[in-house]
Amino acid sequence: MDNDVSAGSTSTSTLGHLALGITLLAFGIGHTGVVDGVTAADAVSLALYVGGIALFVAGLLELRAGSGFTGTAFAGLGAFWFTWGTGADAHVSGHAAGLFLLLWALFALSLTLGAAGGGLLAQGMYALLFLALLLLGVGQFAGSGSLVKAGGWLAAVSGLAAWYGATAALANWPTVLPGRAAGRGVTATG
């Protein structure tokens, strides 16, 4: 999502972040119940094809181009979306669904920690995804609609962050806040 990407393909990265953003928005909004008659199950086709297949292919292309982090993130999240999309019709217990989401929350936590050098936008997006999956998983275990709804909102905000990062790369908008000059009495070290 950084405009100064040295490895990998910027266009593939942008496409991957757009796919991730759109999928997360649909998934998140479906869990919030904010749109009457729209549920997370309505995002299955989008999750399967855009989030699953397109994101997985973008990940493979990023890995081939030498971008290990972005390739791992996209391929891994593509596997998540494909698995979620193909298994959405399966009747599983709330505990099984919760465990699935909690395991993928661990993956999102790894991405959050791995994105530390990639800027606050990328790290924030993955951190929001981690928190969303954590709340969704715990909500499934506890049978708590409130936790699931909160997780949906976090997923939607994470999707907006991914979408903004990709759109910013296309439009050459800033993805980092400019540094401010040091105030009186503040000295820089280094």
Listed by start position, the domains of the chain span: 10-171
Q: Report pLDDT for 48.
A: 93
pTM, whole model, 2 decimals? 0.86
The token pair at 64 is: 């081939």
Cα–Cα separations (whole angstroms), residue 165 to 17, 26, 39, 161 = 7, 17, 26, 6
Q: Report pLDDT for 7.
A: 42
Q: Report pLDDT for 183.
A: 53
Q: Report pLDDT for 187.
A: 46
Q: What is the mean pLDDT of the chain?
A: 88
In sign, the C-alpha dihedral spanning 93, 99, 102, 104 is negative
Which stretches in the chain have pLDDT values below 70? 1-9, 177-190
Cβ atoms of 151 and 135 closer than 8 Å: yes
DSSP 71-136: HHHHHHHHHHHHHHHHHTTS---HHHHHHHHHHHHHHHHHHHHHGGGG-HHHHHHHHHHHHHHHHH
Q: Report pLDDT for 136.
A: 97
What is the fold, at CATH topology level, of the domain defined by 10-171? 1.25.40
Q: Report pLDDT for 89.
A: 76
Buried b (16+ CB within 10 A) or exposed e, 14-46: bbbbbbbbbbbbbbbbbbbeeeeeeebeebbeb
How far is it, in rounded angstroms, from Cα 132 to Cα 99? 14
